[in-house]
Amino acid sequence: MTSLANFMSDNAAAPCPEVLAAITAAAPAQNAGYDGDDWSRRLDPLFGQLFGRECVALPVSTGTAANALALACLVPAWGAVACHTEAHIHVDECGAPEFYTGGAKLLLCPGDHGKLTPAGLDKALASHRGDVHQVQLGALSITQATECGTVYSVAEVAALTAHAAARGWRVHMDGARFANAVAALGCDAAAMVAGVDALSFGCIKNGGMTAEALVLFDTELGDQLRWRRKRAGQMPSKGRFNAAQIIAMVENDVWLRNARAANAGAQALAEAAASRLLHPVEANEVFVQLNPGEPERLREQGFLFYDWGDAGSNEARLVVSWDTPPAQIEALARALAQG
Amino acid sequence: MTSLANFMSDNAAAPCPEVLAAITAAAPAQNAGYDGDDWSRRLDPLFGQLFGRECVALPVSTGTAANALALACLVPAWGAVACHTEAHIHVDECGAPEFYTGGAKLLLCPGDHGKLTPAGLDKALASHRGDVHQVQLGALSITQATECGTVYSVAEVAALTAHAAARGWRVHMDGARFANAVAALGCDAAAMVAGVDALSFGCIKNGGMTAEALVLFDTELGDQLRWRRKRAGQMPSKGRFNAAQIIAMVENDVWLRNARAANAGAQALAEAAASRLLHPVEANEVFVQLNPGEPERLREQGFLFYDWGDAGSNEARLVVSWDTPPAQIEALARALAQG
Amino acid sequence: MTSLANFMSDNAAAPCPEVLAAITAAAPAQNAGYDGDDWSRRLDPLFGQLFGRECVALPVSTGTAANALALACLVPAWGAVACHTEAHIHVDECGAPEFYTGGAKLLLCPGDHGKLTPAGLDKALASHRGDVHQVQLGALSITQATECGTVYSVAEVAALTAHAAARGWRVHMDGARFANAVAALGCDAAAMVAGVDALSFGCIKNGGMTAEALVLFDTELGDQLRWRRKRAGQMPSKGRFNAAQIIAMVENDVWLRNARAANAGAQALAEAAASRLLHPVEANEVFVQLNPGEPERLREQGFLFYDWGDAGSNEARLVVSWDTPPAQIEALARALAQG
Amino acid sequence: MTSLANFMSDNAAAPCPEVLAAITAAAPAQNAGYDGDDWSRRLDPLFGQLFGRECVALPVSTGTAANALALACLVPAWGAVACHTEAHIHVDECGAPEFYTGGAKLLLCPGDHGKLTPAGLDKALASHRGDVHQVQLGALSITQATECGTVYSVAEVAALTAHAAARGWRVHMDGARFANAVAALGCDAAAMVAGVDALSFGCIKNGGMTAEALVLFDTELGDQLRWRRKRAGQMPSKGRFNAAQIIAMVENDVWLRNARAANAGAQALAEAAASRLLHPVEANEVFVQLNPGEPERLREQGFLFYDWGDAGSNEARLVVSWDTPPAQIEALARALAQG
């Protein structure tokens, strides 16, 4: 398969060396299982330091679990979550939010390039009355970076969280590619989550292996999360291996280093296809309008990627990973430049 | 901590070398995520060969998830599962079976030394009518090895599965320590599960790291399982790392080798405390009636273990792992012999 | 309150005389409770005769329960139901479908005047892939008469049910105002439900009191419905009172007589406001574009009704019940004619 | 059927005249549906006066719904409810508590004659640890009168509610036959529920028709209850008919009058079978050890009743309703006296 260049997703990438080393370091027998080991007990202070405020941080096995557990802690079964029409929690999690919340609803709001705005929320939700015959709107979920490869600025997030706070909504951030967003903006991670109640801190796509972190900034929800996580089968008996991976990602800014590499690769592709980008390229995903016949030509050259949009639209999604070989990126950029 | 000897649980043990090697081998970037990689696609035939019949085998992140997903595939929300009063699914999973099934009930049946019998089931369930006012009894769940460290013989399992089949019940086997049971009996693994519909094949306690296998012998349930698993957040994007661990455990009978080591250690302890065992020692767990003051004396010597039974009863549970140092076992055996 | 004329909803109307008489007739003590009485046992054949095919018919206490139970029988927890953007099941049931199904999703499809079309479904659902990462589209729910007071013709329903059948979807019909639709069309009731799997047969808004009927044409789902209904607390111990109401509605075409009266009243209003109707008036609801100041003037004259649409839009919904006094209808028609 | 005498259950009895009159009085068209009518708005103050403290009271369609909604308001999905081994919520509701709570568990506690005691709770729950691996014990549910036809004294209830309060548990009372208990004791209804958080106030078995009342004494749970009730399909559009029935039962102590009649009938039977009662007869249910052949003889004489206990045990349950004809009671008493 060495002749193939995979731009399908960042979820087939390698774990980064620090993560592999952490697994090895955690291998010897310990005295405590579940969350009682030395690694697991470091997560709260580690994220507390990263984000500059107290938090509860727990590993889970997938981003879907992180998102669904977060939402279940934020809204009751008769609640509703406002999110983007293309939000991963709506489109790609087989109803996990509905399962974990006990049947809460996602209320879909459109927005250009995958981004919500306060005005867009107002318009989409104008007809929602909120009386006893309707679900109770109780949270906003933002994806950062978005499903369209764009990034909310710190000010844009702040506008949304202020909008939510004014309505009594809690805020969840689906950060499957949070690292790419922070790396792209070069901003303070703490500023990015200032108004956020629960963050799905993505590791796996960014050089991790089998663990994501769920970070709750409302620490009063900590016990609820622990119970929900256990009964969801998300509390592993050798918890140290997941905690250790997460620590390896956060320490020494490995998460930002990996994300910068992926973002840079996406920028190279974006420059090569600048005239036909479907969305601004701000993280590690590139959405391109290909020409007729171009998808086939690219695949013949060994490039793997997903068709996007409607059938026959010749739209493509190109994802760069932290470890995508530069030669592959350069080759794809050249191919795109030729059209 | 080197002076401590941990007999608390097998869930703080090290992963075995084969599992660690498998992680390393799976590390390089691949072309497919989720279950599309080369490792994941090998699980069905691997377990099909082990058990001599067609099956669907999928990794999940915990034994709790394996059990709860299995039960959800076997009984509807208005169903019921007969299980032992001390079954892990009832006692130690924070309601995971109820969560995953949508509210099915566990009907508790007593039995000596953690083991169910057809007669015991009949007696415990005699008053269950099964009309529309009651949940519908649709499955039996057996733990093998049991929560008391005992092992059902192949004939005992067959009697239970025949009992279930005659009543139209499906059969789930919680095999968190399935390896210890098969190793103890020296039996054919296929014979052990001949009447079983769903097996939670435990790896983590037996030298694994972050993955258990759920094996369905009713392959028509495969699609349902895949959807349930996805919406439970149990379908990891880098699925190869979990699949690779499981393969490493099954290939070359590593699972049996590890289990034999743990069982042998438990036998050594059992011999030393032969006169005061609370249950026959047939796998890797030893339940002992300690003498007054003995728990404190053992702990002073560095032995870690759980008190068991009622407060002040001086009962103890001692668990031996695949990698418990022989010197620690010998030391504990000596200590127990002194009483 | 005699000076007020209520056009808010048909759910504050009186029960019709036949329903009250049925309650009285069922009052004396019987020999069987739950569904064992003489009235309850008549429902299956009664609806079987009405619709010309075998069915299972059970009373429930609300239309919400009928809809939610029906959907729960048609799609699994990981399923999805296509419905109109303004469907009652989405907008006005506080998440009951999600609760009863265990978290299935409603996929919203727009359509003029509250009506779905095969082409509209195709367009709205074009991006739904149906792989394991997504919920599985398994049913279509149609409201007849619609939330906009329009009525699908028999041919329109047949086109939708054929579309569903071709995709393997089951079909639910929310018939809270089914009687108004059938009465408006003057069609055969059997023809209307020829491709339908589950019908919420509305009684309460149409002269009933405390019972709706849920009719399943797929009789293999009967047991499932009975269990789900019991565990939902929808199987009353004195079931005969609900069954008797439903029988009174169906016998002698009382349901059609009542619906015709309500429809005729709506037609009278529609003629008076013909130039400013927001939707065709085909059942017993009239949606009108009022003039500035007109809502206030109408209310000063004692007419009660709901504002509709966005705040300040001066849109109104006027609902006529089976028992709305003709004098009130005439008075409102006169007032509307004046603008 | 006039020759049959029905002692099977109180759920096939007639509604009492006051309830039928209330239906008629509520029949004329009103201005408001759902809970907005004049009857529905009277329930809170009516029960507030009856019980001497503020409360939220809402009609539901069955006792099962009342119990399940109450428990769902008192414990989370990861919670547990302690109840008697024979509690109706465990035995006869097809898993409704599990459905409504989202999977909470019932922890079963034995007790003589259907009654729980603080010591019995302590013993049965001794092994429940309550750590994160287990469900969180959060409520106690008491049935008054019990499933064995016995009645807790006010002091016995107070001991149980104090026991619960000391452990932070909420208290639910399943009062399907609450009237029979209060009538039997001749006590103050307010005293009976002094430590209770949620009461299922039974009406249907005691002369009602289609409505039970759920009374929450923790009024902060009121909104939650309203949302849960709506999404459960338990908020009927013509809510006045259920509210009116409940008012008719409570006003003028009709509920106590009816219960006294039923209790007196049970006492007459109890005297006739005094030497062979299986439980003390304190409400309107009589559990008798019949002689071999006696069940058949009684049935030949036209007496209808349920066999109880194990098959062939000749145990019987005899239930007297508020309207059981005295002549039938006398005839059964004579028959029992003959053995």
**CATH number for the domain that contains residue D300:** 3.90.1150.10
pLDDT digit string, tens, across residues B298-323: 999 999 999 998 888 999 999 999 99
Q: Is the pLDDT of residue D1 over 50?
A: no
Residue ranges of A 185-224 with Cβ closer than 8 A to chain B = 204-205, 208-210
Average pLDDT over residues C241-250: 98
C-alpha gyration radius of chain C: 20
Same domain, D142 and D207: yes
Q: Is the pLDDT of residue C45 over 70?
A: yes
From the list C103, C136, C230, the residue facing B132 with the nearest CB is C230
pLDDT digit string, tens, across residues B164-204: 999 999 999 999 999 999 999 999 999 999 999 999 999 99
Same domain, D36 and D129: yes
Same domain, B113 and B215: yes
Same domain, B64 and B194: yes
**C5 pairs with which residues across the strands?**
C303
Q: Is the pLDDT of residue A287 over 50?
A: yes
C-alpha distances in Å from residue C302, one per residue of C5, D26, D32: 6, 22, 14
Whole-model pTM: value is 0.97
Secondary structure letter of residue A107 according to DSSP: E
Instruction: Out of D253, D275, D297, pick the residue that ends a domain.
Output: D253
Closest-CA residue in chain C for B231? Answer: C78
Closest-CA residue in chain B for A245? Answer: B210
Lowest mean pLDDT among A152-156, B80-84, B311-315, D96-100: B311-315
Q: Is the pLDDT of residue B252 over 90?
A: yes
From A78's Cα to the closest Cα of chain D, the distance in A is 7
From the list D77, D132, D227, the residue facing A132 with the nearest CB is D227
Q: How many domains does chain D have?
A: 2
ipTM over 0.90 threshold: yes
Q: C105: how many CB neighbours lie within 10 A of its CB? A: 26
Query: In percent, how much of chain D has pLDDT > 70?
Result: 99
The pLDDT score that the predictor gives to residue D16 is 98
C-alpha distances in Å from residue A255, one per residue of A9, A180, A202, A258, C304: 17, 9, 9, 5, 61
From D119's Cα to the closest Cα of chain C, the distance in A is 32
Average pLDDT over residues A90-94: 98
Buried b (16+ CB within 10 A) or exposed e, B57-70: bbbbbbbbbbbbbb
Cis preceding linkage at A5, omega within 30 = no
At A3, the pLDDT band (50, 70, 90 cuts) reads low
Residue ranges of A 235-264 with Cβ closer than 8 A to chain B = 235-238, 241-242
From B177's Cα to the closest Cα of chain A, the distance in A is 13
Buried b (16+ CB within 10 A) or exposed e, A137-173: bbbbbbbbbbbbbbbbebebbebbbebbeeeebbbbb
Q: A241: Cβ–Cβ under 8 A, 6 or more apart, which residues?
A: A23, A26, A210, A211, B15, B209, B210
Same domain, B233 and B191: yes
Closest-CA residue in chain C for A90? Answer: C134
Average pLDDT over residues B212-216: 98
Same domain, B303 and B239: no
Position A45: which residue type?
Answer: P
Same domain, D267 and D124: no
Average pLDDT over residues B143-162: 98
Q: Which two tokens stand for residue D219?
A: 């009024």
Instruction: Out of C209, C233, C254, pick the residue that ends a domain.
Output: C254
Query: CA A321, CA A330: separation in Å to the nearest integer?
Result: 14
Secondary structure letter of residue A117 according to DSSP: -
The pLDDT score that the predictor gives to residue D2 is 45
Residues D205, C29: C-beta atoms closer than 8 Å: no
Q: Is the pLDDT of residue A2 over 50?
A: no
Same domain, B250 and B262: no
The pLDDT score that the predictor gives to residue C76 is 98
Q: Which two tokens stand for residue A84?
A: 């983007």
B45 touches D at CB < 8 Å: no
Look up the domain containing C143 and give its range: 17-254
Which CATH number fits the domain that encloses residue A247?
Answer: 3.40.640.10
Q: Is the pLDDT of residue D135 over 90?
A: yes
pLDDT digit string, tens, across residues B130-145: 999 999 999 999 999 9
Q: Is the pLDDT of residue A77 over 60?
A: yes
Same domain, A125 and A178: yes
C-alpha distances in Å from residue B102, one per residue of A120, B75, B151, B174, C58: 36, 10, 31, 20, 23
Contact yes or no for B194/B142 (Cβ under 8 A): no
Same domain, A310 and A243: no
The pLDDT score that the predictor gives to residue B4 is 81
Residues of D in contact with C62 (CB under 8 A): 233-237
Contact yes or no for B183/B206 (Cβ under 8 A): no
Closest-CA residue in chain B for D101? Answer: B103
Phi, psi (5° rounding) for residue B60?
-135, 170
At C3, the pLDDT band (50, 70, 90 cuts) reads low
At A311, the pLDDT band (50, 70, 90 cuts) reads confident
The pLDDT score that the predictor gives to residue C287 is 98
The pLDDT score that the predictor gives to residue D283 is 98
Residue to mutate among B67, B93, B133, B310, with most D CBs inside 10 A, is B133
Residues of B in contact with C132 (CB under 8 A): 226-227, 230, 235
Query: CA D270, CA D275: separation in Å to the nearest integer?
Result: 9
Instruction: Out of A220, A254, A288, pick the residue that ends a domain.
Output: A254
Residues of D in contact with A102 (CB under 8 A): 77, 102
Alpha helices in chain A (DSSP H): 17-26, 43-51, 63-74, 88-91, 96-101, 118-124, 154-166, 178-185, 189-192, 222-231, 240-250, 254-272, 294-300, 326-338
At B1, the pLDDT band (50, 70, 90 cuts) reads very low
Same domain, B268 and B172: no
The pLDDT score that the predictor gives to residue B44 is 98
The pLDDT score that the predictor gives to residue A244 is 98
Same domain, A246 and A273: no
pLDDT digit string, tens, across residues D284-329: 999 999 999 999 999 999 999 999 988 889 999 999 999 999 999 9
Q: Is the pLDDT of residue C30 over 80?
A: yes
Lowest mean pLDDT among B26-40, B222-236, B278-292: B26-40
B155 touches C at CB < 8 Å: no
